[in-house]
Amino acid sequence: MSLALARKYRPKSFAAVAVQSHVAGTLKGAIARGRVAHGYLLCGPRGTGKTTLARVLAMALNCERKREDGEPCGECPSCTRIWSGSASLDVVEIDAASNRGVDDARDLRERAQYAPSGEDRYKVYIVDEAHMLTREAWNALLKVLEEPPPRVVFVFATTEPQKIAQAAAPVLSRLQRFDLKRIGPADVRERLAAVLAEEGVAAEPDALAMLARAADGSMRDALSLTDQALAWGDGTLTPQRVRDALGLVPEDETLALFDLVLDRRAGDVFAAVGRLADHGVDFNVLLADFSDLLRAQLAMALGGATPEISDRLRQELQHRAPRAHAADLVRMLTMLVELEPHFRRSTQQQLLFETLLVRFALLDRTVDLEAVLKGVLADPGGASRGGGGASSAGSPSSRGAVREEPSRPASGREPPPRLRDSAPATPPAAAPRAAAEPRAVAAPADLAAPAPVIAVEINRLAEFWDDVVDTVRRSGRGTLASILDHATPQAVSGAGVVTIAVDTDVHADVLTQGAEHVLAALRARFTGVTRVAVQAQQAAPRERLTEENVLARRVEQLRKRDPVLDAAIDALDLRLLP
């Protein structure tokens, strides 16, 4: 019975190991110069050559006709046994996934004390899946790794070196560590082409590209998938043959889903995805294919080199390029990346994929955050302000200045926290800095309330301040409401100007820019409000935070929220327990 391609074409020399020249060259040089270490740690993704390099190292150390540059001959009896994984006195392979305990480690330590079978040979212990060893097992090996017997070499292979660092950090300082790289699609295609030529099988470039993408950086997976595709039929290896053998989604189906998104046909998503589900599509594969398509389309939209895709798909994406905007593609890829960790574990993959496509198709109905931010930070003296008069929204040069806000359009939304109590009885001495003529600010429609009946007055304003801030909160102005939470209504003039004091100039700037929302919230509760003025004042030094201070503040909050409790605290001299 013939060997699988992954076994039949396993490299027999350092030079034949694809991509990992930085590791292969170092090991070969160490053998040629007689500077072989007693322990190595080979790390990297699956199928990148860790076990192969360990076997080639064992072959080179025990080769009967070793070359001067350190390469094994690959043909002598010793090399043949080691390469095929057959029994060898001097080379032992151990699977740490099934031999991970302390007893297994002690057995390995005792076996390492025996000398090799010949004076010119080495004993090599290859431990695969080394991260599966327990902490106790590593501790049992620690001494022999620090002072190993002569001509004994340990090679540990792992896909998760961080687990070794967590379980047995001292081991890492006793081993030479090599990190193997993922194998790129171009190198995989080149290797597959050479293997298929050796096998006498013709293959189309797009078919090799599909196999390379499906391998996901693993040469062993690429050869195994090629074996699977070759078993599907005879003749030339075509993209359709690969697609049928591996259960891949046809490019036409992925493009059809992309067209639904571009045409904003959200209602057709469920029928299209349901049809694919009826044909038994693997939604993990479908999600990966769709992400590759979006990535290639984004690269094309930005004018960069497109990733590894077929020529036909590249042509189709070029036709769709005028309809696919880079900003939308970035949003789609961001949503896809956020979904991917949950998608693989979900039992409702079809629903998640349908929802994702619907969100893509409805992107034109979402708010452009950049435009919203520009609206928030727009010049208050711009075209949105009605009437004449000088602008008064500029930043003050010193603390204590009072600002008046002219009318500007409302924008933005986000929810804020609750407010603290505020309401000094006397207005500040400082007068408004700006000399602009007072004018009314139009209240946004979402803040307006019908028929306010309370005349504006400082005591009533302090009483209903929470309601004012809650109104701002419901409008979606979270940052503004958060600042109001720490602001104080200072005074109400006879002309209906409400003065609000804040602690810092930064808060004053933000409150000045959003003063029309505060004005609208005030008018929703009070009558007679004409303008809002903002005053920045030096914040008092913060008192030391003690348990008494915390309890006092808590009692103040409770008093404010419940008038009955407020009266009970005074009448019964109640105290809050810590």
pLDDT tens column, 374-430: 665 555 444 444 433 333 333 333 334 444 444 344 444 444 333 333 333 334 444
Cβ atoms < 10 Å from Cβ of 241: 20
Question: Does residue 78 sit in the same domain as residue 148?
Answer: yes
Question: Does residue 16 sit in the same domain as residue 135?
Answer: yes
Kindly state the helix (H) or strand (E) to which residue 346 belongs, with its residue range.
none
- Read off the CATH number of the domain in which 196 is found: 1.10.8.60
Residue 311: pLDDT band with limits 50, 70, 90: confident
What pLDDT, on the 0 to 100 scale, is given for residue 360?
A: 93
Question: Contact 246/214 with Cβ under 8 angstroms?
Answer: yes
What pLDDT, on the 0 to 100 scale, is given for residue 358?
A: 93
pLDDT digits (tens, 9 = 90+) for 338-389: 898 889 888 899 999 999 999 999 987 765 555 655 665 555 444 444 433 3
Residue 236 lies in a domain: yes
**Nearest in space to 282 (alpha carbons), one of 241, 249, 244:** 249
| Domain count within the chain | 5
Question: Does residue 485 sit in the same domain as residue 576?
Answer: no
pLDDT digits (tens, 9 = 90+) for 111-141: 888 888 888 889 999 999 999 999 999 999 9
Cβ atoms < 10 Å from Cβ of 322: 9
Domain limits at 263? 251-365
Residue 265 lies in a domain: yes
Question: Does residue 472 sit in the same domain as residue 573?
Answer: no
DSSP states of 167-188 as a string? H-HHHHTTSEEEEPPPPPHHHH
pLDDT digits (tens, 9 = 90+) for 446-466: 444 444 567 888 878 887 888
What pLDDT, on the 0 to 100 scale, is given for residue 65?
A: 86
**Nearest in space to 20 (alpha carbons), one of 192, 219, 194:** 219
- Of 438 and 90, which is predicted with more confidence? 90
Give CA separation, 460 vs 322, 422, 447, 452, 463, in Å: 59, 12, 20, 13, 5
- Of 18 and 468, which is predicted with more confidence? 468
Mean pLDDT of the chain: 80
pTM: 0.58
Sign of CA dihedral 379, 382, 384, 390: positive
Residue 551: pLDDT band with limits 50, 70, 90: confident
Question: Does residue 229 sit in the same domain as residue 322?
Answer: no
The set of residues, in sequence order, having a beta carbon less than 8 Å from that of 114 and lying 6+ positions away, is: 123
Question: Does residue 291 sit in the same domain as residue 429?
Answer: no
Residue 228 has pLDDT above 80, yes or no: yes
pLDDT digits (tens, 9 = 90+) for 145-157: 888 888 999 999 9
pLDDT digits (tens, 9 = 90+) for 527-550: 888 888 888 875 445 555 566 777
* Residue for token pair 């009070």: 526
Q: How many helices (H) and strands (E) does the chain have?
A: 26, 11
Structure tokens at 371: 């435009």
Residue 258 has pLDDT above 80, yes or no: yes
Which strands make up the sheet holding 488-492, listed edge to edge? 402-404, 531-536, 497-502, 488-492
Question: Does residue 11 sit in the same domain as residue 114?
Answer: yes
Report the percent of the chain where pLDDT is more than 70: 81
What pLDDT, on the 0 to 100 scale, is given for residue 261?
A: 93
Residue 367's Cα: distance from chain center in Å? 23
What pLDDT, on the 0 to 100 scale, is given for residue 275?
A: 92
Question: Contact 75/109 with Cβ under 8 angstroms?
Answer: no
Question: Does residue 17 sit in the same domain as residue 161?
Answer: yes
Question: Does residue 103 sit in the same domain as residue 236?
Answer: no
Residue 438 lies in a domain: yes
The set of residues, in sequence order, having a beta carbon less than 8 Å from that of 30 and lying 6+ positions away, is: 36, 37, 70
What pLDDT, on the 0 to 100 scale, is given for residue 245?
A: 86
Question: Does residue 21 sit in the same domain as residue 138?
Answer: yes
Mean pLDDT of 55-75: 89
Residue 335 lies in a domain: yes
Question: Does residue 355 sit in the same domain as residue 227?
Answer: no
Residue 394 lies in a domain: no
Q: Quote the CA–CA distance of 554 and 388 in Å, as a whole number.
A: 48
User: For 482-496, what is the HEC assignment?
Assistant: HHHHCCEEEEECCCC
Residue 391 lies in a domain: no
